[in-house]
Structure 1
Amino acid sequence: MSELFKNLHFKQIILHNVHKPDDSGAVEPTLSSSITKLDPKGLAKLEERISSVLGSKTSSLEMDVADKSTISCYGLSKLLIPATPTAFLKHSGDIAKLHTKIHISKQWPDGTLVIISGTTGPTNKRCLIIIKAEQQAGFTETLKKGQIIMKYLENLILTPQSKLYKIGVFIEKIEKPSGPVGDLIAHVFDSNIKANDDRSAARYFYANFLGLRIPNNASQRTRDFFELTSEFISSLDTDDDEKLDLKQALFTYLKVEKIDTIETEE
């Protein structure tokens, strides 16, 4: 697990429900009127679960911030991190309204926004976590007078087996115990992200909503080069054996020789 997401502690939590557009257009979010309170056991379990998924090396990405305006998730995070409970209620609602504004497709899921302020990492950097959780159903069991009773529950979120959630987190670059928030870095978790590749991730969530973009780094350029070259080889007017030889040579060039970046001279 990344050191950045160890020692994660939550300060304020609130939930807002966001909805798909209907035939008439956008449907306003259902905003909570109070901060969410969890008992110590529930709070510790939630901190542990979020810390674990954010620290995943296969489904978590550090992102670049594309939108730093005051009405973006980045700008609102800078207000929410040091916010009083009253301000936290107001500005978290602004995040839910922002989600409604970008939620233009009925194919995108509705769900619950879980917005959390807290600290993370060995130096307790302040952070804001935004979770989009899709609701699901399940069962609980209780033992009563020797009988095991099973009860059906709707609207479950953030269960251990669920992959129906996405997380964005904004973290201070330089830790400050209090006061105005400086520059933030951003990370995204999406169970559809594999091997530092965002192609299967929900771009409406991280790009349209969170205002982030995938970094244009060396590994990303190398991956693009491999995929585009493979497609080019497949399109060549030559026999399958020749295509196979070319693809094996490409693989050898990038993998066996451990070339991590592509120089322009090449």
Structure 2
Amino acid sequence: MHLLNFNVDRIIIHQVYRRDPDGNKIVPTQSHEFTNFEQSAMQEFKSRVKDAIGEGSKAVQMEIVNQETNDLPTLVDQLIDKDNVGFAVSSYDIAKKLTEAQQTKSIPGGIVVIFSGTQGSHSKRFLGIIKAEVHSGYEKEINPKTNEISLKFVEELLLTPGTRLYKTAGFFEKFDHNGISENLNDKWIVMVSDYQISKAEGKAAAHYFYSDFLGCGYPETSARTTKQFYESTRLFISEMNATEERKSSLLNALTTYLKVETSSTISSSDFAEKYLDDIDLQDTFTAYMKSTGLPDNAFTKDIEHIEKQLQFRKVNFRSNVKITAPSDVFKDLVIIESIDGDIDASGSPAEWTKVIIKDRIIKQE
């Protein structure tokens, strides 16, 4: 998601709590005043938001599933139109929705940050939600007069470089929304990320956060997008100005990236950073993938449509010679190199391929 001309105009923060030892909900603490960061703190806050759900992030675009009156997407759709007084009051409903969604005692408390603003060349509106989790031993500072968390605590939790226990969602108003459709997916693009889980467990976000709380789900087109990624990357590699050995290595890497790596999200920039060691080539690859219609951001990996292709690596030669092997052994046992062959009529050597298979023959037919 390109967050150009990114402006935040309202921030309000409420506090949510872990359930008590008996599993009962604890009523969240409501804030009544907007949070006003000084300029440097605001820049850091916006930077954190961009890192979480902006271009190049691990955020995943999701679909709005629940659109009834009391569902969070409907609350967001209504909240964005309210004046400051109404925004401050109604934002507390989001904290209550989060409290409802946190149904187990293992889910930590923290603060829920609701903020709005505009972004893009046409200054379209957005509403963002951050849950910043409070780990055990982190001392909360409470204002004795208002019983609300202090701004100092908020700044430390949100802006300290080592603090990244975030779950973040952004509802971005679409440029081409006509105001007629009642389907909220026609009005809003939803980006969701969970820094802690995407790094540790290979998931895009905790289920309670994106489903029970946000009322969203993974797009049904993930399998088609993954297939497009696979086919476009293969084509890019096959047309590279590189040795056959290099191309073979990258095709092995593509299989590993889609089949072996545990992350549930993939992106062109992530593949480029991991497997293309030249910066110019990385830029060329990401630009090429964008030109094919693939999203800039990470998207959910679903190999349903390419599962069979990922099981085997195949190499075909013009003379109808073929080499086929399971993908997991191909990368370890098959070495492909380009070599010079016999001199042709023009005096140039023919392009041949040397294949080394690190195993012995057990049968010929």
- Shift of residue 33 of structure 1? 1.5
Equivalent residues in 2 for 1:162-173 (5 A)?
A: 162-173=163-174
Matches within 5 A, 1:115-154: 115-135=114-134, 137=138
Q: CA deviation at 1:204?
A: 0.9
Indicate how the Cα distance of structure 1 residues 221 and 48 shifts in structure 2: closer, same or farther if over 3 A, else same: closer
Q: Deviations over 1:14-43 (max 9, x none)?
A: 000011111161111001011222222322
Change (3 A) 1:110 1:224: farther
The structure whose residues are more often helix, as a share, is 2
TM-score by length of 1: 0.71
Q: Greater CA deviation, 128-137 or 12-21?
A: 128-137
Q: Say yes or no: does 1:76 pair with 2:78.
A: no
Match of 1:236 in 2: none
Larger radius of gyration: 2
TM-score (norm 2): 0.53
Alignment correspondent of 1:13: 11
Task: Report how far residue 72 of structure 1 moved.
Answer: 1.8
1:119/1:199 CA distance change after superposition, 3 Å: same
3-state SS in 2 of match to 1:221: coil
Identical amino acids, percent of aligned pairs: 30
Instruction: Answer 1 or 2: higher relative contact order, Cα 8 Å, separation at least 6.
Output: 1
Post-superposition offset of 1:173: 1.3
3-state SS of 1:131 partner: strand
Q: Report the AA paired with residue 108 of structure 2.
A: P
Aligned to 2:85: 86
Root-mean-square deviation (Å)? 3.1
For each residue in 1:154-188, what CA deviation from the matched residue of structure 2 results, as whole angstroms up to 9, or x when unmatched? 66312333220110011111378xxxx97212001
Contact 2:23/2:104 (CA < 8 Å) preserved in 1?
no
How many residue pairs end up in the alignment?
Answer: 215
Aligned equivalent of 2:211, options 207, 212, 225: 207
Distance 2:100 2:75 in 1: 15
Give how far 1:58 is off.
Answer: 4.8
- 1:149-228 aligned within 5 A: 156-158=156-158, 159-174=160-175, 183-191=187-195, 192-193=197-198, 199=203, 201-216=205-220, 217=222, 218=224, 219=226, 220-222=301-303, 226=307
Matches within 5 A, 1:42-53: 42-53=41-52
**Which range moves more in the overlay, 218-227 or 162-171?**
218-227
Q: Following the alignment from structure 1 to structure 2, what is the Cα–Cα distance between the partners of residues 9 and 81?
A: 14
- CA deviation string 1:169-210 (max 9, x = no partner): 11111378xxxx97212001222336xx97362111111111
Provide the C-alpha distance between the structure 2 equivalents of 1:135 and 1:16, rounded to a whole number of angstroms. Answer: 13
| 2: CA distance, partners of 1:81 / 1:122 | 19
Match of 2:61 in 1: 62
Query: How far did residue 118 of structure 1 move?
Result: 0.6
Deviation at 1:223, TM superposition (A): 6.1
Residues 31, 44 of structure 1: alpha-carbon distance in 2 compared, 3 angstrom cutoff: same
Q: Gaps (5+ residues) in structure 1?
A: 139-152, 231-244, 252-266
Q: How does 1:221-240 map to 2 (within 5 A)?
A: 221-222=302-303, 226=307
Residue 246 of structure 1 is matched in structure 2 by: 326
Question: Hey, what does 2:94 align to over in structure 1?
Answer: 95
